[in-house]
Amino acid sequence: MSGTTTRTLAALAVCTSLLLAVQVGKAALLPFLPNVELVSLLIMLYTLVFRRKVLYIIYLFTLLEGVIYGFHMWWVTYLYIWTVLAALTWLCRAIESPWLMAALSGVFGLFFGALDAIPYLFIGGVPMAVSRWLSGIPFDLIHCAGNFVLCLVLWKPLKKALGFCMERLTRQA
């Protein structure tokens, strides 16, 4: 982490904590809403602010989720799924439209199950991976819709709030 200031490290820790809090809180308070989550949106925003350092947030978040929920196959997929979202967001960083960022978030939600099925190729071959993916399509559709709506509604206000916080953090340095 060369070149990382104490303030940046603290900001990364706070963002990781927020990510974990919204995920654990959502699971505890709204378990009847499967695959509707703020993690995708926050990772997209964190990617724009922290660039490559978003990987610290992603991997610490994933590690902490493993500690809380146990280390199972889903945990392995989280190691790369969130990184894929960060990479896609970085490639689309010039996009200013909340509609297009919401579309990216929705498409990511739609293909989440396909990304999640990759390790099953190595465990049970193509039939197992395909059956895993197909059985989750209803949840992927919910994930797609939830990501799209949450990103569309919250993109501008959260981007503005995060920008304000980061501006204050760097201005006081």
Q: What is the pLDDT of residues 79-117, one digit of tens each?
A: 999 999 999 999 999 999 999 999 999 999 999 999 999
Q: What is the pLDDT of residues 142-152, one digit of tens each?
A: 999 999 999 99
Q: Is residue 14 part of a domain?
A: yes
115-141: average pLDDT: 96
pLDDT at 161 over 80: yes
- CA 73-78-81 angle, to 5 degrees, is 125
pLDDT at 5: 84
Question: Using an 8 Å Cβ cutoff, are 34 and 17 in contact?
Answer: no
Count how many domains the chain has.
1
Q: Is residue 1 part of a domain?
A: no
Report the CATH number that the domain containing residue 79 is assigned in CATH.
Answer: 1.10.1760
Among 2-11, 13-22, 85-94, 128-137, name the one with the lowest average pLDDT.
2-11
pLDDT at 144: 98
pLDDT at 135 over 70: yes
Question: b/e for 127-157, b at 16 or more Cβ within 10 A?
Answer: eebeebbeebeeebeebbebbbebbbebbee
Q: What is the pLDDT of residues 20-33, one digit of tens each?
A: 999 999 988 888 88
Domain carrying residue 153: 6-171
More confident residue, 149 or 171: 149
132-151: average pLDDT: 97
Query: Strand, helix or coil at 84?
Result: helix
pLDDT at 3: 63
pLDDT at 172: 63
Q: Is residue 87 part of a domain?
A: yes
More confident residue, 41 or 10: 41
27-43: average pLDDT: 92
